[in-house]
Amino acid sequence: MKEKKRFLRLNLVMKINLYLDCDGVILDTIPAIDKALQKVGYTYKGQSKNEPFMKDFLKNKFNWEEEIELIPILDDSVNKIKKLDKKNIFNIKILTHVISDKEAKAKEKLFAELLPNIEVITVPKDTKKTEMVEVKNSILVDDFLPNVVDFNSEGGIGIKFAGKETSDDVIRITDLLELITFVDKWELLRD
């Protein structure tokens, strides 16, 4: 894979910018939102999503401050991020799309408690993540393939997290700690 070769060009003396998506990598947000939508009588299974209804609901009616505390953490990701941070090879930041200021504040508050040393970068939903961060020689771990592909096309290293949706040109991991293994292998190749 050509993305793996790009890793070898990274200067491993400096910390590598590592951007971690929130929803689908750290938090299991989508099922929680689906459940909240079902409570108000909205389902989209088998039909097209009513984007205006969903945006209005998430922006104006969904209680982000309360609900974010109830959203499950995926695969012990918070502890895994702490382990990654202790390795001192990554400059870790959470990079998350948000639909409202309420969502942004709720996520910032949650991660200030869970991961106080990790910066949260909130990105308006209609803005590409690549427009908000330094992409070159940086890594993005995201569960949404279009974000990964965009990050790669802008000169970064996009890694698809979990799921089956992937392509031959995209690196895929199922566990955040796999990033340590990759870096250890690159160090051996560099020496």
| Cβ(173)–Cβ(2) below 8 Å | no
CA distance 85 to 87: 5
The structural domains of the chain, with segments of one domain joined by +, span 2-28+74-190, 30-67
Q: What percent of the chain has pLDDT over 70?
A: 81
101 contact partners, CB below 8 Å, separation of at least 6:
none
Q: What is the pTM for the complete model shown?
A: 0.86
State residue 151 phi and psi, 5-degree precision.
-60, -45
Let me know: does 143 contact 136? Beta carbons within 8 Å: no
Residue 62 has pLDDT above 70, yes or no: yes
List the structure tokens of 67: 């609900």
Computed from CA positions of residues 72, 165, 128, 92, in that sequence, does the dihedral angle turn out positive or negative? Answer: positive
Q: What is the pLDDT of residues 73-112, one digit of tens each?
A: 999 999 999 999 999 999 999 999 999 999 999 999 999 9
Ranges 8-12, 93-97, 113-117: which has the least confidence: 8-12
The maximal CA–CA distance of the chain, rounded, in angstroms, is 59
pLDDT digits (tens, 9 = 90+) for 39-49: 888 766 555 56
Q: In the 3-class helix/strand/coil scheme, how is 116-157 assigned residue by residue?
A: CCCEEEEEECCCCHHHCCCCCCCEEEECCHHHHHHHHHCCCE
CATH class of 2-28+74-190: alpha beta
The rounded distance, in Å, linking the Cα atoms of 63 and 148 is 29
> Which position has the higher pLDDT, 180 or 130?
130
* pLDDT(10) > 60: no
Indicate the pLDDT class of residue 165, thresholds 50, 70 and 90. Answer: low
Contact 141, 161 (CB under 8 A): yes
Q: How many CB atoms lie within 10 A of CB 142?
A: 26
> CA nearest 94: which of 149, 150, 26, 162?
26
